[in-house]
């Protein structure tokens, strides 16, 4: 097996079972490993540390499969890991109100690069790294055989693939595939999900419990659902007792599906106003027109995929939250989120605090929100925590 030697004093993260080796920590590579090939990682003194998948094009040069020298990375190593991940989601699967959830969450489940989302009896899979791609056949084999699933569809079209030097890979893989969108249930709400044409694998599953919080807390008045996608928060808020909603979203197709989702939940169409456009522009227009809302949800896309884009991302969050504060009625509620891994919870809170100050409002945080149980965070991999949210009440 090819050996990678680390630079002096760069072994600490591996000793703490962090699963990444950055290119800057690598001192020497013995030979030329292929993308995804399994390599041994040693300290500068030659001590064996871990075994992982080599990725020649990524800044994350090696993703660790094992810290046990005796564990072989062969035909059969991946199946038990996937099965363990599936088993750990059984509590969710056993709940009739939830038919869509993340079954495998990459590093957190010991399978870097593999994401599997479940929509009823359909599995949607993303192979995002050279290592996951290398074990494609074995991974898909387990997923096709694992219980109660009738179809497997691939959506490996994330930007992450490009960073790994991999081309997009999208399409049916196995079994029966539904024609058009599938219907899922989320804590008593019904949603249409399009795994083929939708964003990511079709639905933002990570916001499930936060939608439930909006439904529980928001009462009466008007909602602004900024970055609404297919109306997850809109439907939750309307069912929770909000009277009318304005959904702001750049994708026309997503707004159309939001309307279909209203109908699916028995909500009258005239309770939703949709604006297709750029939130940074449209929020200013709403402000200039003097519009006011009782509840605002701000759930933007990832502004900072990596820590190098943090400055720019911080400006984006500040701008959008400042506008949101200006659009809130006294006593109103803001649910504001960041899914940028590069912006930690403390920084996010500080940005939102600055926005409130500039908007001239006094406000309290009444809840901190995060990601649900099917998006766990391994203690040795804090980067797995990416979604954070604040529930803020502006003084009345
Ligand atoms: N809240 C949604 C998920 C939002 S994901 C839910 O619960 O399902 C972020 C959304 O923002 C995507 O739907 C994307 O199309 C949209 N988006 C991205 N950039 C935008 C922009 N500048 N203005 C408005 N919408 C934008």
| 18 and 136 in a common domain | no
Pairing of strands 328-338, 293-298: parallel
Pairing of strands 189-193, 222-226: unpaired
Closest CA to 389 of 316, 338, 315: 338
| 264 and 385 in a common domain | yes
| 249 belongs to a structural domain | yes
Query: Could you list the pLDDT tens digit for every one of the 396 residues in the chain?
Result: 999 999 999 999 999 999 999 999 999 999 999 999 999 999 999 999 999 999 999 999 999 999 999 999 999 999 999 999 999 998 777 688 999 999 999 999 999 999 999 999 999 999 999 999 999 999 999 999 997 899 999 999 999 999 999 999 999 999 999 889 999 999 999 999 999 999 999 999 999 999 999 999 998 999 999 999 999 999 999 999 999 999 999 999 999 999 999 999 999 999 999 999 999 999 999 999 999 999 999 999 999 777 788 999 999 999 999 999 999 999 999 999 999 999 999 999 999 999 999 999 999 999 999 999 999 999 999 999 999 999 999 998
Q: Which residue range forms the structural domain that includes residue 150?
A: 78-182
C-beta 236 within 6 A of ligand 1 = no
Ligand 1 mean position, distance from CA 56 (Å): 33
Ligand 1 mean position, distance from CA 24 (Å): 34
Ligand 1 mean position, distance from CA 361 (Å): 26
Ligand 1 mean position, distance from CA 336 (Å): 13
Instruction: Note whether 337 and 298 are within 8 A (CB).
Output: yes
CATH code, domain with 101:
3.30.750.80
| 139 belongs to a structural domain | yes
Instruction: Note whether 77 and 64 are within 8 A (CB).
Output: no
Q: What one-character DSSP code corresponds to residue 374?
A: T
C-beta 324 within 6 A of ligand 1 = no
Q: Which residues of 48-82 are buried (b: 16+ CB within 10 A; e: fewer)?
A: ebbbbbbbbebebbbbbbbbeeeeebeeebbbebb
Take atom 3 of ligand 1 and give the residue whose Cα is closest.
Answer: 229
| 271 and 142 in a common domain | no
List, in order, residues 6 or more apart from 11 with CB less than 8 Å away.
Answer: 43, 44, 47, 49
pLDDT value of residue 357: 98
Q: Which residues of 229-245 are buried (b: 16+ CB within 10 A; e: fewer)?
A: bbbbbbbbbbbbebebb
Burial environment of residue 104 by CB neighbours within 10 A (0 to 12, 13 to 18, 19 or more)? buried
Ligand 1 mean position, distance from CA 229 (Å): 5
Instruction: Note whether 245 and 237 are within 8 A (CB).
Output: yes
| 165 and 89 in a common domain | yes
Active site residue 226: no
Ligand 1 mean position, distance from CA 76 (Å): 39
Instruction: Note whether 378 and 322 are within 8 A (CB).
Output: no
C-beta 207 within 6 A of ligand 1 = yes
Instruction: Note whether 356 and 334 are within 8 A (CB).
Output: no
Alpha-carbon torsion, ordered 322, 211, 213, 189, to 10 deg: 150
| 262 and 227 in a common domain | yes
What the block records as the tokens of 185 is 């249930």
Going through the chain in order, the beta strands assigned E by DSSP cover: 2-6, 20-22, 26-29, 38-42, 48-54, 60-66, 100-105, 114-119, 122-127, 151-156, 169-175, 182-186, 189-193, 222-226, 244-249, 272-276, 293-298, 328-338, 363-369, 388-394
The ligand 1 atom nearest the CA atom of 232: 7
**Beta-bridge mates of residue 246:** 224, 273
C-beta 254 within 6 A of ligand 1 = yes
| 358 and 293 in a common domain | yes
Q: pTM for this structure?
A: 0.97
CATH code, domain with 36:
2.30.130.10
- Catalytic annotation, pick one of 42, 149, 226, 339: 339
C-beta 301 within 6 A of ligand 1 = yes
| 342 and 212 in a common domain | yes
> pLDDT for 322-376, tens place per residue?
999 999 999 999 999 999 999 999 999 999 999 999 999 999 999 999 999 999 9
How many domains does one find in the chain?
Answer: 3
| 102 and 51 in a common domain | no
The ligand 1 atom nearest the CA atom of 233: 7
C-beta 232 within 6 A of ligand 1 = yes
CA distances from 201 to 7, 107, 152, 171 (A): 39, 18, 12, 12
| 124 and 87 in a common domain | yes
| 310 belongs to a structural domain | yes
Burial environment of residue 255 by CB neighbours within 10 A (0 to 12, 13 to 18, 19 or more)? buried
| 192 belongs to a structural domain | no
| 114 and 47 in a common domain | no
Take atom 26 of ligand 1 and give the residue whose Cα is closest.
Answer: 250
> pLDDT for 66-91, tens place per residue?
999 999 999 999 999 999 999 999 87
| 197 belongs to a structural domain | no
Q: What one-character DSSP code corresponds to residue 27?
A: E
C-beta 299 within 6 A of ligand 1 = yes
Take atom 5 of ligand 1 and give the residue whose Cα is closest.
Answer: 301
**Beta-bridge mates of residue 335:** 297, 391
The ligand 1 atom nearest the CA atom of 211: 7
The ligand 1 atom nearest the CA atom of 254: 13
CB-facing half-sphere around the CA of 289: CA atoms within 13 A: 9
Say how far apart CA 7 and CA 286 lie, in whole Å: 55
| 225 and 129 in a common domain | no
Ligand 1 mean position, distance from CA 22 (Å): 31
The ligand 1 atom nearest the CA atom of 230: 8
């Amino acid at each position: 097996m090819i050996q990678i030697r680390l630079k002096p004093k760069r072994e600490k993260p591996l000793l703490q079972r962090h699963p990444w080796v950055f290119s800057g920590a690598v001192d020497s590579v013995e030979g030329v490993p292929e993308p995804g090939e399994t390599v041994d990682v040693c300290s500068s003194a030659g001590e064996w540390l871990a075994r992982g998948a080599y990725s020649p094009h990524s800044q994350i040069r090696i993703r660790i499969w094992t810290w046990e020298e005796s564990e072989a990375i062969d035909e059969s190593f991946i199946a038990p890991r996937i099965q363990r991940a599936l088993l750990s989601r059984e509590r969710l699967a056993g709940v009739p109100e939830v038919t869509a959830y993340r079954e495998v969450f990459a590093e957190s489940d010991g399978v870097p690069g593999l994401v599997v989302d479940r929509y009823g009896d359909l599995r949607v899979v993303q192979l995002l790294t050279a290592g996951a791609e290398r074990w494609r056949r074995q991974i898909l084999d387990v997923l096709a055989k694992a219980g109660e699933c009738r179809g497997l569809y691939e959506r490996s079209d994330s930007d992450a693939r490009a960073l790994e030097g991999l081309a997009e890979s999208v399409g049916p893989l196995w079994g029966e595939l539904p024609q058009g969108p599938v219907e899922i249930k989320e804590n008593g709400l019904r949603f249409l999900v399009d795994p083929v044409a939708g964003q990511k694998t079709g639905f933002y599953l990570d916001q499930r419990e936060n939608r439930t919080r909006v439904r529980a807390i928001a009462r009466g008045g008007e909602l602004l659902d900024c970055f609404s996608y297919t109306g997850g928060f809109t439907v939750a808020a309307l069912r929770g007792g909000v009277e009318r909603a304005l959904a702001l979203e750049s994708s026309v197709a997503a707004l159309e599906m939001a309307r279909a989702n209203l109908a699916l939940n028995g909500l009258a169409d005239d309770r939703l106003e949709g604006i297709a456009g750029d939130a940074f522009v449209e929020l200013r227009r709403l402000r200039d027109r003097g519009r006011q809302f009782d509840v605002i949800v701000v759930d933007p896309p990832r502004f900072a995929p990596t820590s190098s884009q943090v400055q720019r991302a911080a400006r984006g969050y500040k701008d959008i939250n400042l506008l949101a504060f200006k659009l809130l009625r006294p006593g109103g509620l803001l649910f504001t989120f960041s899914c940028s891994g590069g912006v930690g919870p403390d920084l996010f809170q500080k940005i939102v605090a600055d926005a409130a100050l500039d908007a001239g409002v006094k406000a309290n945080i009444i809840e901190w929100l995060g990601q649900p149980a099917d998006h766990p965070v391994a203690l040795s991999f804090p980067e797995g925590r990416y979604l954070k949210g604040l529930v803020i009440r502006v003084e009345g």
